[in-house]
A = this chain, B = another copy of it.
Amino acid sequence: MTGTRRSGGRPTLEQVAARAGVGRGTVSRVINGSPRVSERTREAVERAVAELGYVPNRAARALAANRTDAIALVIPETETRLFAEPYFSDIIRGISTELADTEMQLLLTLIRTPKERHRLAQFLGAHRVDGVLLVSVHADDPLPDLLEEIEMPAVLSGRRAAGESVPYVDSDNVGGASAAVEHLIGRGRRSVATITGPLDMYVAQCRLDGYRQALAVAGHEPDEGLVEPADFTEEGGRRAMARLLERRPELDAVFCASDVMAAGARQVLREQGRRVPEDVALVGFDDSAVARHMDPGLTSVRQPTEEMGRMMARVLLAEIGERDPDRPQVVLTTELIRRASS
């Protein structure tokens, strides 16, 4: 009973050192893979570690070394609901995969209220993590700049705007959208409309750009009447589709900037007696569960979500190791998944 009211008396560095017959510092070196240890000593220490089942105390290490071995995944609330589908879990899976061989821990932070936002800022300001992964950040979000300011490594999923200054991993939204529209045109559709996301989001802009580019390439006259902005929600998709049909009853295809909006659009089409794909072809974006379960199955642009998660983690780890002066930027290609809706 030497005053150890402590954690089940787990072994400490000191004890490992004693057992291996070396000093604390040496054990520390071995644990951290320093090259300045002789082979003999290393082996002795490793044996002692194994025998005692030693696991370093993270808090002590963090305190002494002034790092945390943890990164935060920050998810603004609204997005979690919108993107909930596979996006969310896929990206987490990717991150987790990349972190698996690391000592890094993943902290999950949902941001819903201004209060939580403030707490997060404080939390980050106090350097409670070594780096931050930011998912679906809005253009006007001050967080990335805050992070920049306090020199906290960060990686975004998606850009806030063209010329994003913070390192990011994004998918090729322009290319994906244009492939989708190209496909519709290739199927003989003459009047291709689009339901966009909120246009203050860069991702929505990109998909709209892709739509326009594909039409231009195919030599279609631009017709702004075929463009209807929405908000990535099902209800928004519904309303947009209704407006579109009223304005351009002759349309025979719709590219929706998200599957969820496509689901809404599909409902309106059904209500108005338009068959999919016979009367109107439909293409979505995200290749979410919704797309697979729609009837008919929804053709959709697939983003390599898990891969994005992996890349984000990889880039962040690199940034934590040593900041890259020219901020790393990764853009992953998309893939068109064809189903019966087009």
Contacts and interface: CB of A to CB of B under 8 A. Distances in A.
Interface of A: 5-8, 10, 53, 55, 57-60, 62-63, 66, 68, 70, 73, 77, 80-81, 84-86, 88-89, 92-93, 96-97, 100, 105-110, 112-113, 115-116, 122-123, 125-128, 150-151, 263, 270, 289-290, 293-295
Nearest to A110: B96
A92 B110 contact: yes
Given A86-B84, A107-B105, A59 B55 contact: no
Most chain B CB within 10 A, of A263, A293, A295, is at A293
Contacts of A115: 100
23 contacts: A5-B66, A7-B66, A7-B126, A8-B150, A10-B125, A55-B125, A58-B59, A58-B62, A58-B126, A59-B59, A59-B60, A62-B62, A63-B63, A80-B93, A88-B88, A89-B89, A92-B108, A92-B110, A100-B113, A105-B107, A108-B108, A294-B295, A295-B295
Given A110-B93, A122-B55, A293-B290, A116 B100 contact: yes
Contact of A108 (B53, B106, B293): B106
Contacts of A62: 58-59, 62
A312 to B, nearest CB: 14
A162 B76 CA distance: 38
B107 A107 contact: yes
A85 B87 CA distance: 10
Nearest to A7: B127
Contacts of A122: 55
Contact of A263 (B73, B89, B96, B293): B293
Copies of this chain, count: 2
Given A59-B62, A116-B100, A108 B289 contact: no
Contacts of A59: 58-60, 62-63, 68
B127 A8 contact: yes
B84 A96 contact: no
Contacts of A63: 57, 59-60, 63
Contacts of A293: 263, 290, 293-294
B126 A55 contact: yes
Given A62-B59, A107-B107, A85 B289 contact: yes
A116 B84 CA distance: 25
Contact of A289 (B70, B151, B289): B289
Nearest to A125: B55
B105 A289 contact: no
A333 to B, nearest CB: 23
Contacts of A10: 125-127
Most chain B CB within 10 A, of A110, A151, A294, is at A110
A57 B55 CA distance: 22
A225 B319 CA distance: 60
Contacts of A125: 10, 53, 55
A146 B212 CA distance: 58
A55 to B, nearest CB: 4
B73 A80 contact: no
